[in-house]
Structure 1
Amino acid sequence: MNQKPHHLCGERAATEQLLNEYIDYLMAHSDAEHPAWNLEMIRSGRRNKWNYIDGCMISGILELFDITGETRYLDFADRFLSGFVEEDGSIRTYEVEEYTLDNVNPAKNLFRLYDATGKEKYRKAIERVRSQLETMPRTSEGNFWHKKIYPNQVWLDGIYMALPFYMEYEKRYDAGKDAKDICRQIANVELRMRDPKTGLYYHGYDASRTMYWADPVTGCSPNFWLRAEGWFILGLVDVLEILETLPLPEEKQHIQHMLQDLAETLTRYQDAGGLWYQLIALPEVEGNYLETSGTALISAALLKAVRLGFLPERFRAVGEKAFYGIVDQRLLKNADGSPCVTGICLVGGLGGETHRDGSVRYYLSEPVVQNDAKGVGPLLLAYTEMLR
């Protein structure tokens, strides 16, 4: 922490300056009510709520504080979270009973802010979010539902969204009492959602096998969506980072094996230019495209896993190739000189009001946008790993 940051290689000083200017611009034009990075919220015209997208951005900004020691990053994160967290620990727009794992993700930042500021409101808010997991609905196999509105469903995204927070809480405040529960949930994902032919993981799993998108035998959705793979592999790394401090060697070994297996698999699917396809296993399908957000998540995960010793050094080159693929191909300047990150899938899900069926047609029909936080946030996380 507070180390001298590394610099991008290959005469990319201008790229590094552009990234730094972009981060500064986003911070200067964002607060809890108006996050400049949250394109989906801006498009909706609704008031900003506690959400995982902002959580991802704030995580990256706090990483910059850890790396550089510059208090402006900490001050921004503190101001932003204070726009939600009240003195009694309540969180504006957050309700436990909504029961969505997405809303657990931004709470990861509460630990770091509590450590850095000592503000008790953050400690109280941690307890409030932890209470959600105490009563969160589960499948018959013991996994959290992704959301209350999606009964019996496990999505890859949820591993990243909830389990690192859960594991950090267990390490700090519960003597690791429920750490094995977290590891069992990850093992269930491997058992139910990993495809043995490709080594990839399906986006969703319906334990009841009743949803129209679910295979009636396996319960899995029909395709491998890139961003879900990215959330999942980064979630494995984040959980392992915390698990490292707990006396659970068998569980750690199992999750590390899952991580290495998936890293090997993803390497086989990487395009020559460094990116991965939106439908990762179907590069030849008409309309499929190289997608930015999932690529950035995988880059961040591989680079972090190598740094922490969870993956062999050879995977550093894979992660760097992905990062440089994004900055060389997808980080552009608008006519006015402002930065632009392109090629971001705006949303992706299963079920819901629009009958998202997990088909090839569905995943290729979602809008491809620029400068949305679901791409910018992961790119920021990958960038911070490049600086370490």
Structure 2
Amino acid sequence: MPTTYAGITSQEVHAKIELLISAMVNIRDKTGEFLLTLPDGRVIDTKGWQDWEWTHGIGLYGIWQYYQLTNEPRYLAIIEDWFAARFAAGGTTKNINTMAAMLTLACVYERTGNPAYLPWLDAWAEWAYHDLERTRHGGMQHITYLEENRDQLWDDTLMMTVLPLAKIGFVLRRPHYVDEARRQFLLHVQYLFDAKTGLFFHGWQFHEDGRPGGHNFAEARWARGNSWLTIAIPEFLELLREGAASSSSSNGGSSNDVALEAFLRSTLRAQCEALRPLQDPTTGLWRTLLDVPESEGSYAEASATAGFAFGVLKGLRRRDLPAGAGEFEDMAVRAVRAVLANVSDDGELLNTSFGTGMGRDLQHYKDIPVTSMPYGQAMAIMALVEFSRRFI
């Protein structure tokens, strides 16, 4: 078994992952700056580990990825302890972001068969399928704790709600969930993909008065938003293939996925080709606004860089990107080096931008503060886990 790849050692990678997990579950909001106060009086700790927001949903999925690789019971225990505590507290409000945790829960249920998880998967997936507000033409409206975001599509939605719905559909053998996920991927690419650059806009707003058309807000080609697509497309393609291989249409797989898979693969490739010249040649990082220079306030951002590394590496491994495309491999390895360089001695991923709502101008993105967050930790873990497969 190889112990070094591209000058990076297996020992270093695993040590960093363990540091990242330890820091994730021990992150504290010491000033209260990142607390989210809801109209009903609840206070959501978006930074600390003991609460329920998309930040934690992505955090759980990062730990799950490492558990899959290592089969170490202590990592599964972290995940199951989090769910046990959240369920005991009575759960939380259903919205696009809080649905993110259901992706990991579906994975855990598939592995363990714990019947305690089934009613939660059923209730949340039924909500997403039937009751989650839709935009014009049926896209999932990006509802959060604080905002209705009427008739808005966000690229975050594919990672936070669509991917969990698809996974639950396969696990519970409900193909209509998977069909809905297929439709959501197509709709979001339709309205958010920027054909001129190959990148994605953060969001789309339909005209509120019912007139045709709409706009892409600030036309922000935001890095982390783009990275959700880089992650979600290979993940969804893998789900579709596994569903088809598991045999029958009763499990959600379909021969009709041939065209959809080709469409998503070409979309992923276009995005990766657009990302390549925008990566900093020295640091390996991308900027928070991908095509805005650092001199204009677009700072280097590590969580998106980790997301791009994961998606490109997985896309190459699963042949969703051309296997012979050395330029993609080189880009991903530079990104992995950037992730490693941005893990502090305490295990926190540095240069991680805080949660980012929809911006009406580009300055909005430049002003987002930088702080360690569970999702940043998880995205770094995911990148390093995918890189670790080079050692197998």
TM over 0.5: yes
Contact kept in structure 1, 2:354 and 2:368, CA below 8 Å: yes
1:236 pairs, out of 221, 233, 236, with 233
**1:1-388 alignment, distance < 5 Å:** 9-10=6-7, 12=9, 15-16=12-13, 18-23=15-20, 25-26=22-23, 30=25, 36=27, 43-44=34-35, 46=44, 48-85=50-87, 92-96=90-94, 100-133=95-128, 134-147=130-143, 149-208=148-207, 218-222=214-218, 223-244=220-241, 245=244, 246-247=253-254, 248-272=257-281, 273-283=283-293, 285-313=295-323, 314=325, 315-328=328-341, 330-333=342-345, 338-350=346-358, 357-369=359-371, 371-388=372-389
Percent of pairs with identical residues? 21
* C-alpha distance 242-325 of structure 1, shift in aligned 2 (>3 A): same
- Deviation track 1:33-55 (CA, whole Å, cap 9, x = no partner) reads xx527789784275543222112
Aligned to 1:154, the other structure's residue is in SS state strand
Residue 63 of structure 2 aligns to which amino acid in structure 1? I
Residue 94 of structure 1 aligns to which amino acid in structure 2? T
Contact kept in structure 2, 1:205 and 1:219, CA below 8 Å: yes
Contact kept in structure 1, 2:3 and 2:9, CA below 8 Å: no
> Shift in Å at residue 190 of structure 1?
2.3
Question: 2:40 is matched with which residue?
Answer: none
Contact kept in structure 2, 1:56 and 1:106, CA below 8 Å: yes
Residue 76 of structure 2 aligns to which amino acid in structure 1? L
Question: 1:354 is matched with which residue?
Answer: none
Residue 344 of structure 1 aligns to which amino acid in structure 2? T
Contact kept in structure 1, 2:287 and 2:294, CA below 8 Å: no
Aligned to 1:237, the other structure's residue is in SS state helix
Aligned to 1:332, the other structure's residue is in SS state coil
Aligned Cα RMSD in Å?
Answer: 2.7
Take 2:386 and 2:168, find their aligned partners in 1: how far apart are those partners? Answer: 24
TM-score, scaled relative to structure 1: 0.83
Aligned to 2:136, the other structure's residue is in SS state coil
Gaps of 5+ in 1: 211-215, 351-356
**How many pairs are equivalent?**
356
> Shift in Å at residue 252 of structure 1?
1.8
Q: Which has the higher contact order (CA 8 A, sep 6+)?
A: 2
* C-alpha distance 13-167 of structure 1, shift in aligned 2 (>3 A): closer
Take 1:294 and 1:25, find their aligned partners in 2: how far apart are those partners? Answer: 21
Take 1:236 and 1:83, find their aligned partners in 2: how far apart are those partners? Answer: 31
Aligned to 1:196, the other structure's residue is in SS state coil
